Amino acid sequence: MTSTTSTANKMTVPGLARMKAEQQPITMLTAYDASFARLVDASGVDCVLVGDSLGNVIQGLDNTLGVSVDHMVYHVAAVRRGLNRALLVADLPFLAYHDRASALASSGRLVQAGAEMVKLEGGAALAPQVTALVEQGIPVCAHLGLTPQHVHQLGGYRVQGREASVAERLKADAHALEDAGAGLLVLECVPAELAREVAAALRIPVIGIGAGAQVDGQVLVVYDVLGISPPPRPRFVKDFMADHGDIGTALAAYVEAVRTGAFPGAEHTYR
């Protein structure tokens, strides 16, 4: 935590666990620079994710695979300077955590830049890396379902878990990652009923993006919330800027919609 960060209302990993226990929806948005970080933080959001989605929205790449640890460190440091309350989560980029040593080295750099939790994509095979990180005091957010770093293996950006065998494997992966020490789980582009079952079965909070409303919280890319991202836009996206006159009001409207259950709606949900 930087010296400019107030501890009075600072969100923490245990704080997220308490929110799940108390059934308070968790809100998360991405940010990639200090200016947007200030706006997002002021909206009252609980977590800010410096996602490797910066490859798409900042660098103009077709996918996230070209994002490096150096890129992530740069953007994490910038976002850190703009935050006051929200918990800062940072993506570990492609091939930055293929074994324990690489996971520790990459995560150490992100934490030293200001991250308070790191996120990695993949299932039970990553349990050793998760445990190694947690043993060194680095909180971990897991990511299952549509995992963009596996886009070539998945054959594109497709809904995951509609087949019974894939759904069962996802459930097993979620339990394995929780048992390994993960403190948070993101589920992306999975059927709402599957997401509900996973959230109900886990002790840790489950954050959805295209995973329906019956999870513990929601995350969106900030540019999607503001209608900046070019079409075609995923089904789970809602442009909050369309009904509001300025960025701050639109971001606050997203936070309020998640907390009241107004977002996501059926039109944002996969079956």
Structure tokens at 230: 């070019």
Helical (H) or strand (E) element with 89: strand 87-91
Of 87, 210, 96, the residue nearest 144 (C-alpha): 210
Contact residues for 6 (Cβ-Cβ < 8 A; gap 6+): 84, 85
Cα–Cα dist 8/79, whole Å: 20
Q: What is the dihedral of CA 134, 138, 139, 142, to 10 degrees?
A: -80
Of 30, 31, 29, 26, the residue nearest 12 (C-alpha): 26
Cα–Cα dist 72/199, whole Å: 29
Residue 77 has phi, psi (to 5 degrees) of -60, -40
168: annotated active-site residue: no
The answer to whether 225 touches 238, Cβ cutoff 8 Å, is: yes
The string over 160-170, giving b where at least 16 C-beta atoms fall within 10 Å of a residue's C-beta and e elsewhere, is: bbeeeeebebb
Cα–Cα dist 96/164, whole Å: 31
Cα–Cα dist 248/250, whole Å: 5
Of the candidates 135, 168, 188, 197, the residue annotated as catalytic is: 188
Residue 209 has phi, psi (to 5 degrees) of -140, 105
* Catalytic residue ranges: 188
